[in-house]
Structure 1
Amino acid sequence: MYKAVVASLMLASPALATGIEITVAGEASGTITVDLLEDVAPAHVERITALTESGAYDGVVFHRVIDGFMAQTGDVEFGKIGGDMRRAGTGSSDQPDLAAEFSDVPFDRGVVGMARAQSPDSANSQFFIMFSEGYFLNGQYTVVGRVTEGLEVLDAIKRGEGRNGAVIGAPDVMQTVTVTE
C-alpha cells in the first residue's frame, strides 16, 4: 500500500530537473553543467526546466556578455541564431513574468541568476552566468543555479563591447540545452 501511495504522489507532482547541460558553440566550445536550485527558486527552476524540455533554449545566443561580470542569454523570442540580433535581449517566452524569489545565496563566480527588467517581478526566460562575484546583485535578482562543470567554457564565451556588453558580429550560442536528472 505504501509503495502505491508514493508512486501515485510521484505521478501527481512532476519532479523538477536537478540541472541542465548547455552545449555552447562559437568562440567557446563545450558544455556548461548547471545545478538548478529548486529549493531556492522553485517557480524559476520550473520555468527553466519547461523551456529546456520544449527545446526553446536551443539555438539561443549569448547576446550580452560583459568581461569580468556575466554572460546573458535565454531570449527565446528574439535571441535565436539567424534572427535579427538587434532585438536579442528584448524578448521573453509566451509565459507570464515570474514573481521574484530572492534568497541569501550570494552572486559568486558561476552562479546563475534570472535577468529582469526594472520590476523585480519581471523575470521570464533570460538568465545570466557570473564570471566573477557580483555581490551588489544580492537580494535584487533571483538565483536559480550554480555551474558545477564547464567554467572554462563560460570563460571562453565571446565578449561584448561597450558598457552594455552587446555582442557584435557572430555571438556564441547555446546549441542545445538538456535537462539532467
Structure 2
Amino acid sequence: MRTRAAALTSALAVLAAPAWAQETPAPTPAPVPAPSEWREVAPDNLLVIDTNRGRILIELSPLAAPGHVERIRLLARRQFYDGIVWHRVIDWFMAQTGDPLGNGEGQSWYPNLKGEFTFQRTPETPFVAVARPTGSEIGFIGSLPVQTQPDSLLALNGSGRASSWGLYCPGVAGMARDDDPDSANSQFFLMRQAYPSLEKRYTVWGRVVSGLDVVRAIKVGEGDNGAMVGEPDRMIRVRVASDLPEGERPTVRMADPASAAVAELVRQARQAKGADFSICDIDLPVQVSGGAAPAA
C-alpha cells in the first residue's frame, strides 16, 4: 500500500504534467481486412428480413441446424412470414416472431421439427478457434460463434467428430418451442444481448450479420397481454436472397474468421477485456451492398 506522502507526490506530478500528457490515449484503430480476407455470404444462405424498423440480414447456418434452416427457407419462399408481428420482445434479451396469430400460440401448417441443439464437427469443418478453455474450444464457423470439443478428441473418440453447439451471442437466431424439445415449427427469435443459459436447449440456425441495431429497435412488450403500447412492429417481407430479383438482392461480404484482421480483433478484445473476454465481444467486419429494401 502506498503512503500518504507518496500519493501526494503522485498527485502533484499529474498536476504539473503538460495537458497533452494527461489526455486519454486514443483507441486502437480497428484492423481493416485485406481484399483477400473477405468472403461472400452465399445468397442461398442469406435471409433478408425487411421490417417497418429497417432491414435485418441473417446468415443461415445449415451445418448447425440443417432441418431448421430448410424450414426457414421453405416458409420464406411460401411468403409465410410476410406481415407477421414481433409478438414478444424483451429488452436485454430477444425479439420473437413467426406466429401467424400474433399471440405466441400459432405456427405453420408443417409438422414440428426435431431439436437440433448440437451438431458434429469434423476435421473438414471450417472452424476457427479464438479461445481454448479447459476441455473445449470456442470460435467461429462462418459468422456463427460456437463451442466445441477440442481437436484432440477428433482422433481419440473413434468417429473423427466433435460435438459442437451455437453460442447465444447478440444477433444469434434461435428457434422458439414449448416444453417439448421437438416442438419448434415457425416461431423464431433474434438475440438483443448475450444469453448463455439458452445454449444446447434451443436450436441455433443463424446469426444477424447486418441490422442488429434494427433488432434492438423493435418495440418491447407482448402484444397479447397489454404490455405493449400501441401496435407491435412487424416483418414486411422475408425472402432468401437467392430468390430475389438481382436488382433487389443485397450482397454481403464478411471478414474471414481465419484472417489476420480478425486475429487482431481478437487480440484487441482480449487486451481490453482481460479475464472477462468472450467471443461475443468480437464483431466480425461486414460489407453490404446493393438490394434496395421495399417501402414500408
Q: Which has the larger radius of gyration?
A: 2
Q: Corresponding residue for 2:291?
A: none
Please tell me whether the aligned partners of residues 64 and 166 of structure 1 are also in contact (alpha carbons under 8 angstroms). no
Please tell me whether the aligned partners of residues 88 and 96 of structure 2 are also in contact (alpha carbons under 8 angstroms). yes
Q: Corresponding residue for 2:79?
A: 55
Q: Does 1:92 align with 2:153?
A: no
In structure 2, the CA distance between the partners of 1:118 and 1:156, relative to structure 1 (3 Å rule), is same
Q: Percent identity?
A: 50
Please tell me whether the aligned partners of residues 66 and 165 of structure 1 are also in contact (alpha carbons under 8 angstroms). no
**Given residue 228 of structure 2, which amino acid in structure 1 is its aligned partner?**
V
In structure 2, the CA distance between the partners of 1:121 and 1:168, relative to structure 1 (3 Å rule), is farther
The gaps in structure 2 that reach 5 residues or longer are 1-41, 119-164, 243-296
What TM-score do you get using the length of structure 1 for normalisation? Answer: 0.80
Please tell me whether the aligned partners of residues 43 and 241 of structure 2 are also in contact (alpha carbons under 8 angstroms). no
2 CA distance for matches of 1:133 and 1:143? 13
Q: Please give the secondary structure, in 1, of the residue aligned with 2:95.
A: strand
Q: Corresponding residue for 1:20?
A: 47
Shift of 1:166: 5.2
**Given residue 75 of structure 2, which amino acid in structure 1 is its aligned partner?**
L
Q: Does 1:67 align with 2:91?
A: yes
Higher relative contact order (CA 8 A, sep 6+): 1
1 CA distance for matches of 2:177 and 2:214? 24
Number of positions where the alignment pairs a residue of Structure 1 with one of Structure 2:
154
**Given residue 99 of structure 1, which amino acid in structure 2 is its aligned partner?**
K
Q: Please give the secondary structure, in 1, of the residue aligned with 2:71.
A: helix
Q: Give the ranges of 4+ consecutive aligned residues of structure 1 lying more than 3 Å apart after TM superposition.
A: 164-168
Q: Corresponding residue for 1:178?
A: 239
Deviations along 1:134-177, whole A, 9 cap, x unmatched? Answer: 1000000000110000111111100016xx99534200000101
The gaps in structure 1 that reach 5 residues or longer are 1-14, 80-87
User: Aligned Cα RMSD in Å?
Assistant: 2.0
2 CA distance for matches of 1:74 and 1:180? 19
Please tell me whether the aligned partners of residues 31 and 153 of structure 1 are also in contact (alpha carbons under 8 angstroms). yes
**Given residue 17 of structure 1, which amino acid in structure 2 is its aligned partner?**
D
1:128 pairs with 162, 166, 189, which one? Answer: 189
Q: Corresponding residue for 2:168?
A: 107
In structure 2, the CA distance between the partners of 1:142 and 1:166, relative to structure 1 (3 Å rule), is farther
2 CA distance for matches of 1:148 and 1:165? 32
Deviations along 1:66-124, whole A, 9 cap, x unmatched? Answer: 00000000013x13xxxxxxxx2101100110000012111110000000000110000
Q: Corresponding residue for 2:204?
A: 143
**Given residue 100 of structure 1, which amino acid in structure 2 is its aligned partner?**
G
**Given residue 32 of structure 1, which amino acid in structure 2 is its aligned partner?**
I
1 CA distance for matches of 2:232 and 2:201? 27
**Given residue 209 of structure 2, which amino acid in structure 1 is its aligned partner?**
T
Q: Please give the secondary structure, in 2, of the residue aligned with 1:31.
A: strand
Q: Corresponding residue for 1:117?
A: 178
Q: Corresponding residue for 1:159?
A: 220
What TM-score do you get using the length of structure 2 for normalisation? Answer: 0.50
Q: Please give the secondary structure, in 2, of the residue aligned with 1:113.
A: strand
2 CA distance for matches of 1:124 and 1:106? 21
Structure with the largest fraction of helix: 2
Deviations along 1:20-39, whole A, 9 cap, x unmatched? Answer: 111111xxx21000001011
Q: Please give the secondary structure, in 2, of the residue aligned with 1:17.
A: helix
